[in-house]
Amino acid sequence: MLKYKGYTARVELDEEAGVLHGEVIGTRDVITFQADSAKNAIAEFRASVDDYLDFCAERGEAPEKPLSGQFLVRATPELHRRVHVAANAEGISVNAWLTRTLEEDTKEFG
């Protein structure tokens, strides 16, 4: 994963074309790039984000911001109870418990 100005990109190898293809994730807007090396992929990612921000500014539109860090979770009452009990058993808030659990379970996605 690449990060720049709060944006994150996923990069994959296109073996057939012999290029690295990247896409900014976490936005509804489509921001892509490609390159022939890791070093160039980083540069192209940054240039794509800068181009996107410039394009939005030229049009007088606010760029879509990366995710805010807040989201609503809908759960069954039983799951809600279990989460509440687990958090209380550790002496922490439900928010702190969920954040820690999500951090642990998503480390590989980076």
Answer yes or no: is 41 within a domain: yes
Looking at the fold, whether 85 and 55 belong to one and the same domain comes out as no
Looking at the fold, whether 85 and 54 belong to one and the same domain comes out as no
What is the spatial distance between Cα 39 and Cα 25, in angstroms, rounded to a whole number? 20
Q: Say if pTM beats, i.e. exceeds, 0.75.
A: no
The more confident residue out of 58 and 66 is 58
Whether 28 shows a pLDDT value over 90: the answer reads no
Please classify residue 22 by burial: count the beta carbons closer than 10 Å to its beta carbon, then call 0-12 exposed, 13-18 middle and 19+ buried.
buried
Domain housing 84? 77-109
Joined tokens for residue 92: 């922490």
**Cβ atoms of residues 44 and 35 within 8 Å:** yes
pLDDT digits (tens, 9 = 90+) for 79-98: 999 999 999 999 999 989 99
Q: Binning pLDDT at 50, 70 and 90, where does residue 52 land?
A: very high
The residues, any chain, with a CB within 8 Å of residue 14's CB and separated by 6 or more, are 20, 21, 34
Answer yes or no: is 72 within a domain: no
At residue 109, the pLDDT reads: 83
